[in-house]
């Protein structure tokens, strides 16, 4: 799923809030990082569903940016270790410490049409929102069924990690419409530029 707001091209293809946070730093080279500016982080928190639509986050500042980047790095290291990469010394302790905090308090409020919708009992602080994302990471990392579907995108220049919930778990890309389409276009170009019988004509699966 992708949406555009301002200079940010929001994408939520990962299947979990914590994975979507990591994805903000694993996009294409040159892409805007929402964790570089306060308004970007505030917009991402709303777009990602960490807070209900319309929530004001006027308190987001550079301190928030530093702490969310630290959490992003810690979760990324844990995921990389889970997928067989480098170690994650200190990352688990950081995520656990943040997950121990209290997440934002929820309440039910009446919408304009009279329906009950999710709201917050108070304006959320940085620690509460960090706790919400860190708890999602803890739940993912301790769920064997979910971990079995954890994948790294095979697209060129993409490091996104996602949950493969497809039938047969044969999904290769974080997004078929983005990374998958890029590879299909690249294959098409190779077929029309490489000599017959070259390695470019051999399917990769």
| Per-residue H/E/C for 163-200 | ECCCHHHCCCCCCHHHHHHHHHHHHHHHHHHCCCCCHH
pLDDT at 155: 75
Compute the CA torsion angle 26, 30, 34, 39 (nearest 10 deg): 180
Angstrom distance (rounded) from CA 179 to CA 39:
27
Least confident of 15-24, 63-72, 135-144, 177-186: 177-186
Spatial CA neighbour of 16 closest among 157, 143, 158: 143
Q: Identify whether the C-beta of residue 48 lies closer than 8 Å to the C-beta of residue 57.
A: no
Q: What percent of the chain has pLDDT over 70?
A: 76
Per-residue tokens: 190: 């190779």
Is-contact 83 149, C-beta < 8 A? no
Confidence at residue 175, expressed as pLDDT on a 0 to 100 scale = 61
Place 192 in a pLDDT band, splitting at 50, 70 and 90: low
> What is the pTM assigned to this prediction?
0.81
Q: At what angle do helices 126-141 and 91-99 cross, to 10 degrees?
A: 120
Q: CB neighbours (10 Å) of residue 180? A: 17
- The answer for residues whose C-beta is within 8 angstroms of residue 33's C-beta and 6 or more apart is 24, 25, 27, 40
Confidence category of residue 205, pLDDT binned at 50, 70, 90: very low
Which fold does the domain 2-151 belong to in CATH? Jann2411-like fold (1.10.3300)
Residue 108's pLDDT band (cuts 50, 70, 90)? very high
Residues 6+ apart with CB under 8 A from 189: none
Decide if 3 contacts 118 (C-beta within 8 A): no
Q: Does the pLDDT value for residue 53 go beyond 80? A: yes
For the CA atoms of the chain, what is the radius of gyration? 19
Residue 156 · residue 142 · CB < 8 Å: no
Q: Where are the domains of the chain?
A: 2-151
The DSSP H or E segment spanning 76 is helix 62-82
Q: What is the DSSP letter of 6?
A: T
């Amino acid at each position: 799923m992708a949406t555009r707001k301002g200079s940010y091209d929001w994408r939520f293809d990962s299947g979990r809030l914590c994975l979507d946070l990591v994805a903000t730093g694993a996009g294409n080279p040159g892409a805007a990082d929402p964790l570089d500016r306060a308004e970007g982080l505030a917009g991402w928190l709303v777009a990602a569903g960490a807070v209900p639509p319309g929530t004001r986050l006027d308190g987001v500042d550079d301190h928030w940016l530093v702490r969310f980047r630290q959490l992003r790095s810690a979760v990324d290291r844990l995921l990389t270790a889970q997928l067989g990469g480098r170690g994650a010394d200190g990352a688990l302790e950081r995520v656990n410490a943040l997950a121990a905090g209290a997440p934002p308090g929820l309440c039910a409020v009446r919408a304009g049409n009279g329906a009950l919708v999710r709201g917050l009992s108070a304006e959320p602080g940085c620690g509460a929102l960090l706790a919400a994302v860190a708890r999602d990471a803890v739940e993912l990392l301790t769920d064997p069924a979910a971990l079995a579907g954890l994948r790294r995108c095979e697209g060129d220049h993409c490091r996104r990690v996602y949950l493969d919930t497809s039938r047969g778990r044969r999904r290769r890309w974080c997004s078929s419409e983005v990374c998958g389409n890029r590879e299909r276009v690249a294959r098409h170009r190779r077929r029309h530029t490489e000599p017959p019988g070259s390695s470019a004509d051999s399917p990769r699966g």
